[in-house]
Amino acid sequence: MPTTLIKNADWVIAWDEKANRQVYRRGVDLAFTGDCVDFIGAAYSGTADRVIDGAGLMVIPGLIDIHSHPHHEPLYRGIREEHGVANMHMTGLYERGQAFSAPDDEGRAASAEFAYCELLLCGVTSLVDISAPFDGWIELFARSGLRGFLAPGYASARWFLENDLGPSYDWNEPRGRAGFATALRVIDAALAHPCGRLSGVVSPMQIDTCSEDLLRDSRAAAIDRGLPFTTHCSQSVNEVREMIRRHGMTPIQWAHRLGLLGPGTILGHALFLDTHSWVRWHTKDDLRLLGASGTAVAHCPTPFARYGQVMEHFGDYLRAGAVMGLGTDCSPHNLVEEMRKASVLARIAARDIHAVDVADFLHAATAGGATALLRDDIGRLAPGKKADLVLVDLTCPQMQPPRDPLRSFVYHAADRAVRDVFVDGVQVVADRRVLTMDQADAARRLAAAQERMEAAAPQHDYLRRKAEEITPLSLPVSD
Ligand SMILES: [Zn+2]
């Protein structure tokens, strides 16, 4: 197996096992052989097949994105950024999901390929992809070069709108059961893929669209197989109110009652807790339940911030003991920008600059995400860990001066400084170009698919509106 040596890197963000945290190392060599890091330190004495000059570089662990929907979110570019329904507590989730529903398989593939490119270009190396399965998904993922945690979604019920006050539920348990069986088959196929980088997450889609039995059986199947489990939970005020109406308790308390919480469970997005100012339910249990059980939260600030909503707040979740990870729920798929946004929003919510710091978000985007996925071999650069790593260009203008290069990266440069990316020891981005896929070609297919999706909107929208009536352009088109 070939050995690659990064010689005398100016900075390396390495894993300190004893301190259980990421630390800076300066002026060190980093060597990896095959898919595995075998040395970080002064003066590597072994031989190497390839030597990369580490001057002007910071080496960081590949980032871990624990919540994404690549098969449709890029299709919403230009559509969803300012779309929301005031009578649904600002969320546009239900209206948009119905009006712009079910892209065809060609559209899904174009959308996913485009998103995978965005993710690699910002330094993501591991991805939880929550998608409705489509033909060619596993092969496309394998080709991307990413480390994949495929999360085929399924549900007992579908949302539909009768008015603008919130979703109604079309229940069909056999459909949910069939989806569950398909999901396990897809996960098994991913695990068996010869690339060796694919795994799965058991993913009943939403706490409010899955029956109690389906949720319990899904969690049991995940535990049986040693796989993570994920579901959307406490993601909208409508959902919280619906669960209180059904069960007399919040979605988090209901998840606890069903035995869904605990290590290996990832809740997207656990934002509207009982203590949240938009909910203000009389109990004060949700955060304690998350923390005491070691449940993970996939925090994706962007879609909520666009509605005017923030987590309250990230620092309190951390201190309660929740396993905090980050995700890119929507476009742009830029996990570094999510780190930046999450840090600023947490301080606004806390009204305290010391509520969080950039190290908290690096941890969430690396080791925290790995813990959420029950993995200790990714998100960390140390001998014996996977060779998933990113070379950050310190000479990029937005990195200058690189006094504290993690701050330069998160608060200033983001993806502009990501030069090269390796997953499993294989280079997938070189000099800011994805080697495994063709983003420009995917973009052309994506635009065509978006046109088809918009043209079909009046058939799906509950008011039979055209796409431009649901989400007008941001400026009038002048003659
Ligand atoms: Zn989501």
Q: How far is the CA of 154 from the centre of ligand 1 (A)?
A: 13
Centre of ligand 1 to C-alpha 474, Å, is 25
Q: What is the pLDDT of residue 102?
A: 72
SS3 content of the chain, % helix, strand, coil (to 5): 40, 25, 35
Do 3-61+382-432 and 63-372 fold alike per CATH?
no
Residue 270 token pair = 């656990």
User: From the CA of 387, how far away is ligand 1's center (Å)?
Assistant: 28
Element (H, E) at 151: strand 147-154
Q: 292: CA distance to ligand 1 center in Å?
A: 24
- The C-alpha torsion from 245 through 167 and 267 to 377, rounded to 10°, is 160
Q: Cβ(127)–Cβ(107) under 8 Å?
A: no
Q: How far does residue 68's CA lie from ligand 1's centre (Å)?
A: 6
DSSP 368: I
In angstroms, what is the span from residue 325 Cα to ligand 1's centroid? 13
Q: How far apart are CA 265 and CA 255, in angstroms?
A: 10
Could you state, in order of their start, the residue ranges of all structural domains in the chain? 3-61+382-432, 63-372
Measure the N-to-C terminal CA separation of the chain; round to a whole number of Å.
63
Angle at CA of residue 225, ends 222 and 230, nearest 5°: 25
Question: What is the radius of gyration, based on Cα positions, of the chain?
Answer: 22
CB 346 within 8 A of CB 311: yes
- CA count, 13 A, side-chain hemisphere, 220: 8
**Whole-model pTM?**
0.98
Assign domain 3-61+382-432 to its CATH architecture: Roll (2.30)
CA distances from 452 to 75, 84, 102, 108, 441 (A): 10, 22, 11, 12, 17
Q: Which residues of the chain fall short of a pLDDT of 50?
A: none
How many angstroms separate the alpha carbon of residue 124 from the centre of ligand 1?
Answer: 17
CA of 460 to the centre of ligand 1 (A): 21
For residue 310, how many C-alpha atoms fall within 13 Å in the half-sphere facing its CB? Answer: 16
If you measure from the C-alpha of residue 5 to the centroid of ligand 1, how many angstroms do you get, rounded to a whole number?
38
Say which CATH topology domain 63-372 has.
TIM Barrel (3.20.20)
What are the DSSP calls for 31-77, one per residue?
EEETTEEEEEESS--S--SEEEE-TTEEEEEPEEEEEE-TTTGGGGT
pLDDT at residue 103, as a whole number:
81
CA 181 centroid distance within chain:
24
Tokens of 53: 């000059």
Distance 67 CA to ligand 1 centre (A): 6
What is the structure's pLDDT at 334? 98
Q: Minimal CA–CA distance to 343: which of 326, 321, 330, 328?
A: 326
Specify the DSSP class assigned to residue 399: G
Residue 101: what pLDDT? Answer: 82
d(CA 80, CA 86): 14
pLDDT tens string 229-282: 999 999 999 999 999 999 999 999 999 999 999 999 999 999 999 999 999 999
Q: Which residues pair with 429 in a beta bridge?
A: 421, 434
CA of 257 to the centre of ligand 1 (A): 23
Distance 232 CA to ligand 1 centre (A): 6
